[in-house]
């Protein structure tokens, strides 16, 4: 522990819990309050990509951003490097 | 007109069955005719919490399948007039419950009772959606703890999507009941505060039940806490919640809260 860490006030566990929940639930709620949308999308995307490339479920990140004019769906899929790409159909 | 209430939570172990029994007891003590219905097929426990485990002959599945009449399966509470239990089956497959069958039984119950309280199983699978399907109003039981709040959020989404009311385009009436609350720990920043949970879930508060040994004592002896110890903190919290469900306006009391002069004078607004 450095000298600054000693003086820094530790964040109460309850506010860590609140912040984590707020971030998590904003992702899980999805568009128009349909809580299952993100999960359903995630499942379908995993299945579709998984037919062609081997992927780890935890390497798929899906985020929804709601804007006034435009909403976006961000899908980030990490796939294996060139050497281990298999074309499983 | 009878009201169908579902007690649900998503997460297990947060107090759905305790709440079903306590609200059922309180509403019956207020003079209502109440049926508490266990939807947790295979893992029934409401009979045990109600102290009727040795009186179960027929169950919900028998009635749904037409093997028994509703009147044969209903167990009359020996302590409180007007309180009845419809137990779940302990052995049969939960797939034996059909949408139509459950709807018919709920309809029969509505004709005889003022309140039909459905104790939902944990999870978000078929059992939980069957329990909420015919409800007019929902009580979402939540502990001030991250996994419980997250699961409640999922259940709230299901209540707004999978109930008959929601499918008909009507607003599903939902209330939040926070259980196992410890005001001292919340004040020390160790536990989510009531306001944190309300802000995250944005469902109006119907009551706060404190962590209490009375709840365990009530389950040990198989008596709803509102009947065993109506003057205890959890007993009072559940009685207040029951009266709010019945439409009374009662000031919200957070158990264990040190109340300042201003809140004592003007009350505390929740949700």
Please report the ipTM that was assigned to this predicted complex.
Answer: 0.77
Average pLDDT over residues B237-258: 92
Chain B positions contacting chain A at CB under 8 Å are 145-146, 149-150, 153-154, 156-158, 160-161, 186, 188-193, 196, 200
Residue B101 has pLDDT above 90, yes or no: yes
Q: pTM here?
A: 0.80
Give the pLDDT score at A59.
Answer: 79
Contacts of B97 (CB under 8 A, 6+ apart): B39, B41, B60, B61, B64, B127, B130
Distance from CA of B157 to the nearest CA of A (A): 6
Contact criterion met (CB < 8 Å) for A22 and B150: no
Tokens of B267: 């009350």
Contacts of B183 (CB under 8 A, 6+ apart): B210, B254, B255, B256, B257
Residue B50 · residue B224 · CB < 8 Å: yes
Q: What is the mean predicted confidence (pLDDT) over B66-72?
A: 95
pLDDT tier at B258, thresholds 50, 70, 90: low
Q: Return the percentage of chain A with pLDDT > 90, whole number.
A: 4
* A27-45 pLDDT, tens digit each: 777 544 565 677 777 888 8
| Average pLDDT over chain A, rounded to an integer | 73
Mean pLDDT of B39-56: 95
pLDDT of residue B40: 94
The dihedral formed by the CA atoms of B23, B115, B108 and B105, expressed in degrees to the nearest 10: -30
Identify which of A14, A20, A33 has the shortest CB distance to residue B190: A14
Top mean-pLDDT range of A8-12, B19-23, B186-190: B19-23
**What are the residue ranges of helices labelled H in B11-145?**
16-29, 46-49, 60-64, 70-73, 99-112, 126-133
Structure tokens at B212: 């209490």
| pLDDT single digits (tens) B214-228 | 999 999 999 999 999
The shortest C-alpha distance from A40 to chain B (Å) reads 13
């Amino acid at each position: 522990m450095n000298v600054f860490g000693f003086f820094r006030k530790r964040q109460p566990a309850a506010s860590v819990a609140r912040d984590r929940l707020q971030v998590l639930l904003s992702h899980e709620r999805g568009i128009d309050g349909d809580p299952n949308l993100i999960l359903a999308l995630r499942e379908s995307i995993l299945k579709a990509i998984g037919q062609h490339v081997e992927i780890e479920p935890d390497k798929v990140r899906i985020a929804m951003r709601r804007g006034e004019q435009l909403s976006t769906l961000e899908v980030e899929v990490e796939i294996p490097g060139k050497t281990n790409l298999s074309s499983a159909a | 007109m009878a009201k169908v209430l579902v007690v649900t939570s998503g997460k297990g172990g947060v107090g759905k069955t305790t709440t079903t029994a306590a609200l059922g007891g309180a509403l019956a003590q207020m003079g209502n005719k109440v049926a508490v219905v266990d939807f947790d097929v295979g893992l029934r426990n409401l009979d045990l919490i109600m102290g009727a485990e040795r009186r179960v002959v027929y169950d919900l599945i028998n009635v749904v399948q037409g093997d028994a009449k509703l009147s044969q399966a209903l167990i009359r509470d020996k302590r409180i007039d007007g309180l009845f239990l419809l137990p779940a089956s302990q052995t049969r497959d939960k797939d034996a419950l059909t949408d139509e069958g459950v709807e018919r039984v709920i309809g029969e119950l509505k004709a005889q009772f003022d309140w039909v309280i459905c104790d939902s199983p944990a999870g978000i699978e078929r059992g939980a959606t069957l329990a909420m399907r015919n409800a007019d109003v929902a009580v979402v039981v939540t502990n001030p703890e991250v996994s419980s709040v997250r699961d409640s959020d999922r259940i709230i989404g299901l209540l707004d999507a999978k109930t008959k009311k929601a499918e008909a385009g009507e607003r599903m009436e939902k209330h939040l009941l926070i259980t196992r609350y410890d005001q001292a720990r919340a004040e020390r920043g160790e536990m989510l505060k009531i306001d944190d949970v309300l802000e995250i879930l944005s469902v109006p508060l119907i009551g706060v039940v404190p962590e209490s040994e009375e709840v365990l004592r009530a389950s040990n002896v198989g008596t709803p806490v509102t009947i065993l110890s109506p003057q205890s903190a959890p007993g009072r919290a559940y009685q207040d919640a029951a009266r709010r469900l019945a439409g009374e306006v009662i000031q919200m009391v957070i158990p264990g809260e040190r109340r300042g002069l201003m809140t004592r004078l003007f009350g505390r607004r929740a949700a």
